[in-house]
Amino acid sequence: MTFRYPAVFQKKEDGSYTAYFPDLSMCTAKGQTLDDCINDAIAECRDWIQTELLDTLDMPPVSDFDDIELKENEHIRMIGVIVRLYEGWDE
């Protein structure tokens, strides 16, 4: 199953990046470069979704880009992850 959620990325003063998912509570990422942060965001998003699926199959709705308020130096990128669901997948 493929899940897609928007992530908000921000470049820090030291040149590193951080990101958060407005729809996924407490799901954040970081990296020395934007590519590193995107890779960490993908991994964190996948982990968050897999953990949520262990508890419930009720995933949060996906925000529309226009509904996400951005601060200075922030931009949105859609992050997609594939989570394979099969019998025993959570073992």
The whole-model pTM stands at: 0.88
Ordered domains of the chain (ranges, CATH): 2-82 (3.30.160.250)
State residue 16's pLDDT score: 97
State residue 88's pLDDT score: 57
- CA 4 to CA 6: how far, in whole Å? 7
Which residues does 39 contact at the CB level (< 8 Å), separation at least 6? 31
pLDDT in tens, 70-81: 998 999 999 999
Q: Is residue 80 within 8 Å of 41, Cβ to Cβ? A: no
State residue 75's pLDDT score: 95
- ∠ Cα 49 62 53 (to 5°): 20
How sure is the predictor about 9, in pLDDT bands with cuts at 50, 70 and 90? very high
Give the alpha-carbon dihedral of 77, 82, 67, 55, to 10 degrees.
-140
